[in-house]
Amino acid sequence: MNEHQKKNLNRFEELAARARSSGIYTFSTFHSRETASLAYEVASEKEVMLWGGTDNCERVVARFGDPDEIGYSEDFPICILCVKPKQAKYADSLTHRDFLGAILNLGIERDMLGDILVHENSAYFFVIDKVSDVIRSDLDRVKHTAVSCSVVASVPEDCLPKLSEEHITVFSPRLDAILAKVYHLSREDAKTMFDDEKVTLNGRLCRNPETLLKENTTVSVRGYGKMEYHGEEYTTKKGKTGLTIWRYI
């Protein structure tokens, strides 16, 4: 575990302890799913919930607190901002990097921002509530394009990732073999992903390349993408196992 991870682990420990002692929920800022999964190392399963603003977000906030002990639920302090050109006809072609850079240039820290979904030259940001007013009042330009910024209730369906069904065969249904096949890697390169702590299963960090997946498991690999594993289908005459996955595209 590196120093950055230790720092986050200590912070999560503080938040978990505060939730237990005060009887109220505590929340982290945004983290990658790999980092956020460290929350499970300092608190029980029912004391931790991860959420990024919509299903399958890559960046999430950790909420600490046992609902049975606290006695109520509480929404995450996340809102959605829509940033779009004021005059689409004269707008630059804007990318994820352009939108992110424009907000960071306002002095907003990266951990205040979750996923950024870009669609038709507009962007939808998941942000911590307390910085939304600053962004709305100060963000008026992305590159050379004048933009407007408003709070919205949800993200359009067209912005969300799509799933593509794929069928693969592997000699072993171990996770490293599946990742090697899906992402066209050698088994050694696939194993390195676990050493580098890039792999999560249902939001939990996975360090074991020999893991055998259960049906309906979501696998996320930092830098490569995300997929859902839907189980074994058949065995070939050569002893390979046929699997079904749904890959996010």
87: domain CATH number? 3.30.70.330
Same domain, 85 and 131: yes
Domain finish residue from 39, 70, 101: 70
CATH number of the CATH domain containing 218: 3.10.290.10
Cα–Cα distance for residue pair 196/185, rounded to 1 Å: 15
Same domain, 62 and 8: yes
Query: Which residues form the domain of 110?
Result: 78-159
Same domain, 35 and 92: no
Residues 6+ apart with CB under 8 A from 91: 85, 121, 145
Same domain, 113 and 178: no
Query: pLDDT digits over 73-88, tens only?
Result: 999 999 999 999 999 9
Note whether 132 and 151 are within 8 A (CB): yes
Domain count, the chain: 3
Report residue 132: phi and psi, to 5°.
-65, -40
Query: pLDDT digits over 175-201, tens only?
Result: 999 999 999 999 999 999 999 989 999
Same domain, 63 and 106: no
Query: Which element (helix H / strand E) includes 177?
Result: helix 175-182
Same domain, 168 and 152: no
CATH number of the CATH domain containing 48: 3.30.1370
Same domain, 21 and 56: yes
Looking at residues 12-18, what average pLDDT do you find? 98
Note whether 59 and 52 are within 8 A (CB): yes
Average pLDDT, the chain: 94
Domain finish residue from 137, 159, 181: 159
Q: Report residue 4's pLDDT band, with 50, 70 and 90 as the boundaries.
A: confident
Cα–Cα distance for residue pair 183/225, rounded to 1 Å: 9
Domain finish residue from 52, 70, 88: 70
Give the model's pLDDT for residue 192. 95
Q: For residue 217, what are its two tokens?
A: 């498991």
pLDDT of residue 43 exceeding 90: yes
